[in-house]
Amino acid sequence: MLNFTIRRLMFAIPTLLVISFIIFAILDLAPGDPTASLPMTVPPEVRAQIRSTLGLDEPFIIRYFLWLKQFMITEPLNLIESSFGITIGEGDRLRLTSWATRSPVVDLIAERMPQTLWVVGMSQIIAVLIAVPIGVISAYKQYSWIDQLGTLFSMIGFSVPTFFTGLLFIVIFSVNLGWFPSIYDTNHVVEDWDSFVFQIKQMIMPTMVLALFTAAQISRYMRASMLDNLNQDYVRTARAKGLKEQTVLLVHVLRNSMIPVVTVIALNIPTIFGGAIITEQIFRVNGIGQLLITGIVGADIPLVQTLTFIFAALIVLFNLIADILYGMLDPRIRYE
């Protein structure tokens, strides 16, 4: 298993390199000028100088490798330095900077990441907690009213886009009922019980919007997988042993049914980051989704390149995680 993981990680490197090249190349073609946002009064010579300090005079391929070096070597080194308080080498490296804000791209992302991770992470956990029971019960009581209800839930959950559920939530829970704030207060700090409750309250809506959307899909997979397994011979064997129905269902059938579902969940997580882009806009959460939109609108090419690459890396990573989980859950799979 360890061997397999290491080998898969090695394979991921060329994949990521190719992806990074494509992303860099495509975005490099986009019209964008780091000096475009400067006041008109800035003379052309100054603009030219700015461009050259950013390395924009270099040929395309040099700029690609520079970006790669900054992203893959400089920034990790900075991270190590700042977290251990040591200095490696000369310590002062040219960092990848945003054209719009002039601050290092990685710092911007690091600042925005926690909000997104919280919302996405919580939404995934809640989605699984909602979807698994729905799937299990729907399959066990196939065609019952509870199954029909589950089908309705997943149909609505999946077909209604998140921006619509988001707005609907705001109208119902913020405007009409006044339960939750409609705008996420990003400066809020949790320091006591009350502020913690407020934090939960402001997270509920963005989290639930994503959770419901994901739960709708997962519950379908769960139901299908359970149905598949309920008809298997081993279920009859388990019943013939005189096990409690609950044990048969929640130990024998569920364990087998989770194998494909866990894979789907893992593969789905990067997509949720995509979904977060929209929800973050609606609820004004200053996560990386919002950062990406700002970057695109402001033609902040380094920022967009880096974020896009991070999304791509997430997809590769979760593919790997899905494979590893599959091997862990199914003893018939052995990676040698």
The window from 48-56, 158-166, 245-253, 308-316 that contacts another protein (CB under 8 A) reads: 245-253
Minimum CB separation of residue 217 from another protein in Å reads 24
Output 139 or 212, the one with its CB closest to another protein: 139
The window from 30-38, 53-61, 180-188, 228-236 that contacts another protein (CB under 8 A) reads: 228-236
191 alpha-carbon distance from chain centroid? 27
244 contacts another protein (rule: CB under 8 A): yes
State the greatest distance between any 2 C-alpha atoms of the chain, in Å, as a whole number. 86
238 contacts another protein (rule: CB under 8 A): yes
Task: Determine which residue in the list 231, 246, 297, 336 makes contact with another protein, applying CB under 8 A.
Answer: 231
Task: Determine which residue in the list 50, 56, 146, 243 makes contact with another protein, applying CB under 8 A.
Answer: 243
Task: Give CA–CA dist 90/171, Å, rounded.
Answer: 55
Output 63 or 239, the one with its CB closest to another protein: 239
Task: Give CA–CA dist 288/278, Å, rounded.
Answer: 11
Backbone CA torsion sign across 2, 333, 267, 205 = negative
The window from 127-135, 205-213, 218-226, 244-252 that contacts another protein (CB under 8 A) reads: 244-252
240 contacts another protein (rule: CB under 8 A): yes
Minimum CB separation of residue 307 from another protein in Å reads 39
132 contacts another protein (rule: CB under 8 A): no
Task: Give CA–CA dist 92/322, Å, rounded.
Answer: 39
Q: Which of 163, 205, 162 is nearest to 180 (CA)?
A: 205
- Quickly tell me which residue has 């967009």 as its tokens: 304
237 contacts another protein (rule: CB under 8 A): yes
Task: Give CA–CA dist 310/107, Å, rounded.
Answer: 14
Minimum CB separation of residue 131 from another protein in Å reads 21
Q: How far is CA 95 from CA 9, 273, 302, 312, in A?
A: 26, 26, 11, 21
Output 313 or 329, the one with its CB closest to another protein: 329
14 alpha-carbon distance from chain centroid? 22
Task: Give CA–CA dist 187/182, Å, rounded.
Answer: 15
Minimum CB separation of residue 329 from another protein in Å reads 7
Q: Is 104 helix (H, G, I), strand (E, B) or coil?
A: strand
Please give the size of the binding site for another protein, defined by CB under 8 A: 23
Task: Determine which residue in the list 90, 92, 233, 336 makes contact with another protein, applying CB under 8 A.
Answer: 233
CB-based burial label for 267 (10 Å; 0-12, 13-18, 19+) = middle
Output 217 or 256, the one with its CB closest to another protein: 256
Output 44 or 331, the one with its CB closest to another protein: 331
Backbone CA torsion sign across 88, 89, 93, 95 = negative
Give the x-and-dash track for 312-331 against another protein (CB under 8 A).
-----------------xxx
239 contacts another protein (rule: CB under 8 A): yes
Minimum CB separation of residue 174 from another protein in Å reads 46
Restricted to residues 252-281, the positions that interact with another protein (CB under 8 A) are: 252, 255-256, 259
Task: Give CA–CA dist 109/151, Å, rounded.
Answer: 39
DSSP single-letter state for residue 97: B
Task: Determine which residue in the list 62, 234, 250, 274 makes contact with another protein, applying CB under 8 A.
Answer: 234
Task: Give CA–CA dist 228/11, Å, rounded.
Answer: 34
Binding residues for another protein, rule: CB under 8 A, are: 231-234, 236-245, 247, 252, 255-256, 259, 329-332
